[in-house]
């Protein structure tokens, strides 16, 4: 979270929450559910420093027929991951509710007569009270609202092996609970207003992801000497664009995200399927929350009458004839609350006749002015460097080809943009741990195979990550106290120095 974010210093569980906790334990729920309180109240939101330490990482409460998950801390510990995973798994199968809505903050207001005045973005607060001139020197100006990184990476250094194992196991459980399984009924919706990094993407693996203008995603672990967190990214990234049949499915967007340190914007997220909808303002959260809270429960979303069952005919197959109609109201609310969504966007990049033989990084305004709101820099970059990332089979080859572009002479602004972009991509790769970079490339290469599943990729990612926790690169980065991108004393001077045997040893069972 931003250092200037106001926090609730007094979050008090109600008597109902205490009763719910007792019931949960009596129902043989894990004790970890107590780390994610429900039905909380608070008295005020004072401007106090360091009060976030007393906050749970997340809180779940009822808002009409929806269940609202407030993310109050960008880091989860193992117990909190386990408790939230359990709650979400049970809620997703609870047909007496309509939906589950998660966001990193909430606007102030009344819902069903109950004050839900929880922290809002420090950056948004400053924008509302400062002029444009003042914003240029404001402490919050340009600072990302940090939604989640999954866990506190530096804390890994002091953990024992079994604690690290538990942490990554529970991160996997949380990702799978949010994604849901064949028995899940209720849609999971997340609105990540701010930056998600690495394993924090677990919070955006549900049915719907609503990106705001401040939403973004970035893979930072290679800057720490680490690989992909075990949330299935080596399965997800090679398949970006597939689910919604987007143009991005034809471009190496996943490779650019994972290898170069590129930070995907909200537009990038929607155009690749990392997010499903784009909403114009975070303030829509309150409207969406209220609308979802008024939707009838899943089990009552009936458009057709159930057929009469004959008495004594227990052999009759009971079919849910309303199954295909359920959750339509939820989908309609999200559709009407959004500017656009991830589906139905073939008109932008899908028409081959509109594409130029040598596409530039910025589409020409005279050709594409009608589509200006749907531009994605990530997709433009992936289109431009497609041959390099798709044809080169090694990280060394990719970096050498990009390096060649950086030496090109240019005679106009478009060619200069191309060279500058190549320099940015190369710089991003050179800042990272060579071993981590080559390992991630191998993980993506394996994960793209048809035989792989989300779960098999998670297992492999976890195995690699646990070994890198004990590696020289991660230990050196932690000991240095350097921020991501400032450390360069890696074990290997370049990717060329990393042997295939070293990577195979990390991946080996």
Predicted confidence (pLDDT) per residue in 65-90, tens digit? 999 998 888 899 999 999 999 999 99
Q: 166: number of CA atoms within 13 Å, CB side?
A: 14
Sheet arrangement for strand 146-148: 146-148, 195-197, 216-218
Report the 10 Å Cβ neighbour count for 401. 17
Alpha carbon of residue 339 to chain centroid: 20
CA angle 239, 227, 169 (to 5 degrees): 85
Structure tokens that stand for 298 in this block: 């899943």
2 has a pLDDT exceeding 50? no
Q: Which of 213, 265, 270, 224 is nearest to 247 (CA)?
A: 270
Mean pLDDT of 389-395: 94
Residue with tokens 């809620």: 91
Phi-psi region of 271 (alpha: psi -120 to 50; beta: other; left: phi over 0): alpha
What's the pLDDT tens digit per position in 314-329? 555 556 655 566 788 8
Write out the residue limits of the CATH 3.90.226 domain(s) in the chain. 11-131+141-218+280-288
What per-residue confidence (pLDDT) applies to 184? 93
The bridge status of strand 146-148 relative to strand 58-63 is unpaired
Residue spans of beta strands (DSSP E) within 178-281: 188-191, 195-197, 208-211, 216-218, 277-278
Residue 124 has pLDDT above 50, yes or no: no
Q: Are 178 and 205 in contact (CB under 8 A)?
A: yes
Mean pLDDT of 41-57: 49
pLDDT at 10: 41
Residue 221's SS3 state is helix
In which residue are the tokens 């193992």 written?
Answer: 78
Both tokens assigned to 381: 């970059």
Q: CB count, 10 Å around CB of 160?
A: 8
Confidence of residue 133 (pLDDT cuts 50, 70, 90): very low
Question: Is-above-0.75 flag for pTM?
Answer: yes
pLDDT, mean of residues 416-440: 96
Under CATH, which architecture does the 11-131+141-218+280-288 domain have? Alpha-Beta Complex (3.90)
Q: Which residue has the higher pLDDT, 141 or 181?
A: 181
Of 490, 381, 382, nearest in space to 439 by CA: 490
pLDDT recorded at residue 314:
54
CA-CA distance, 146 to 194, in Å (whole number)? 6
Please name the residues in contact with 15: beta carbons below 8 A apart, sequence gap of 6 or more. Answer: none
Q: Return the pLDDT at 57.
A: 87
Say if residue 165 is exposed, middle or buried (CB neighbours under 10 Å; 0-12, 13-18, 19+): middle
> What secondary structure, in 3-state letters, does 268-331 show?
HHHHHCCCCEECCCCCHHHHHHHHHHCCCCHHHCCCCCCCCCCCCCCCCCCCCCCCCCCCHHHH
Contact present, 428 and 261 (Cβ < 8 Å) = yes
Q: Tell whether the model's pLDDT for residue 416 goes beyond 60.
A: yes
For the cut 60, the answer to whether the pLDDT of residue 143 exceeds it is no
Of residues 220 and 1, more confidently modeled:
220
Question: Are residues 268 and 378 in contact, defined by beta-carbon separation less than 8 angstroms?
Answer: yes
Q: How far apart are CA 496 and CA 426, in angstroms?
A: 15
């Amino acid at each position: 979270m931003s250092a200037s974010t106001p926090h609730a210093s007094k979050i008090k569980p109600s008597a109902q929450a205490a009763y719910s906790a007792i019931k949960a334990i009596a129902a043989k729920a894990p004790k970890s559910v107590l780390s994610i309180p429900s039905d909380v109240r608070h008295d005020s939101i004072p401007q106090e420093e360091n009060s976030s330490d007393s906050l749970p990482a997340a809180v779940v409460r009822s808002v009409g027929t929806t269940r609202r998950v407030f993310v109050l801390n960008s880091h989860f510990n193992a117990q909190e991951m386990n408790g939230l995973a359990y709650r979400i798994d049970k809620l997703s199968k609870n047909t007496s509710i309509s939906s589950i809505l998660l966001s990193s903050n909430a606007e102030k207001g009344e819902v069903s007569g109950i004050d839900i005045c929880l922290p809002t973005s420090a950056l948004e607060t400053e924008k509302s009270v400062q002029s444009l001139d003042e914003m240029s020197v404001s402490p919050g100006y340009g600072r990302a609202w940090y939604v989640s990184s999954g866990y506190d990476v530096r804390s890994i250094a002091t953990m024992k092996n079994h604690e690290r194992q538990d942490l990554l196991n529970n991160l996997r459980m949380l990702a799978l609970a949010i994604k849901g399984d064949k028995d899940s009924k209720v849609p999971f919706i997340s609105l990540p207003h701010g930056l998600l990094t690495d394993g924090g993407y677990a919070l955006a693996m549900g049915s719907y992801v609503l990106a705001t203008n401040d939403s973004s995603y970035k893979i930072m672990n290679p800057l720490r000497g680490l690989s992909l967190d075990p949330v299935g990214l080596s399965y997800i990234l090679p398949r970006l664009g597939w689910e919604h049949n987007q143009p991005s499915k034809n471009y190496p967007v996943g490779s650019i995200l994972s290898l170069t340190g590129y930070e995907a914007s909200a537009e990038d997220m929607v155009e690749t399927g990392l997010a499903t909808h784009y909403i114009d303002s975070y303030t829509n959260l309150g409207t969406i929350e209220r609308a979802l809270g008024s939707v009838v429960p899943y089990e009552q979303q009936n458009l057709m009458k159930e057929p009469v069952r004959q008495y004594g005919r227990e052999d009759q197959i009971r079919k849910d004839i309303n199954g295909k109609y359920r959750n339509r109201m939820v989908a309609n609310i999200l559709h009407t609350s959004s500017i656009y969504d991830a589906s139905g966007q073939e008109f932008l990049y899908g028409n081959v006749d509109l594409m130029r033989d040598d596409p530039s990084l910025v589409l020409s305004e005279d050709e594409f002015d009608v589509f200006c709101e749907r531009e994605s820099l990530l997709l433009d970059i992936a289109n431009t460097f497609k041959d390099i990332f798709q044809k080169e089979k090694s990280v060394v080859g990719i970096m050498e080809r990009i390096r060649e572009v950086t030496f090109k002479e240019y005679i106009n602004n478009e060619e200069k943009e191309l060279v500058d972009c190549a320099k940015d991509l190369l710089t991003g790769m050179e800042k990272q741990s060579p071993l981590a970079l080559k390992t991630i490339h191998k993980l993506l290469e394996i994960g793209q195979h048809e035989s792989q599943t989300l779960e098999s990729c998670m297992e492999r990612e976890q195995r690699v990550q646990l070994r890198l926790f004990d590696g020289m690169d991660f230990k050196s980065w932690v000991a240095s106290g350097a921020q991501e991108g400032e450390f360069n004393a890696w074990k290997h001077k370049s990717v060329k120095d990393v042997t295939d045997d070293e990577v195979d040893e990390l991946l080996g069972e």
